[in-house]
């Protein structure tokens, strides 16, 4: 299970990195390194967005009750 999650994370970060690198957006070496770090952190970004969505749903549910 852990290995599967790791390989999915690795595949996702590789795809993000290759997609942006092929688009020509990263022209400087520091941009490429920054892009690699951002691509590798996509599970953390997804987790942060999921927590935010849950908190938003809770606050929306709490505000509709009298």
Q: pLDDT confidence of 66, banded at 50, 70, 90?
A: low
What are the tens digits of pLDDT across the range 10-51?
A: 787 778 777 777 777 667 777 777 777 777 787 787 888 889
Quote the pLDDT of residue 9: 77
Q: What is the domain range of residue 36?
A: 2-64
Rg of the chain over all Cα atoms, to the nearest angstrom: 17
Contact indicator for 42, 23 with CB cutoff of 8 Å: no
- Total domain count for the chain? 1
Pure H helices in 1-66: 2-23, 29-40, 42-64
């Amino acid at each position: 299970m852990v290995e599967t999650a790791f390989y999915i994370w690795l595949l996702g970060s590789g795809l993000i990195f290759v997609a942006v690198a092929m688009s020509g957006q990263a022209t400087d070496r520091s941009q490429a390194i920054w892009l690699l770090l951002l691509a590798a952190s996509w599970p953390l970004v997804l987790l942060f967005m999921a927590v935010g969505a849950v908190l938003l749903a809770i606050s929306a549910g709490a505000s509709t009750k009298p």
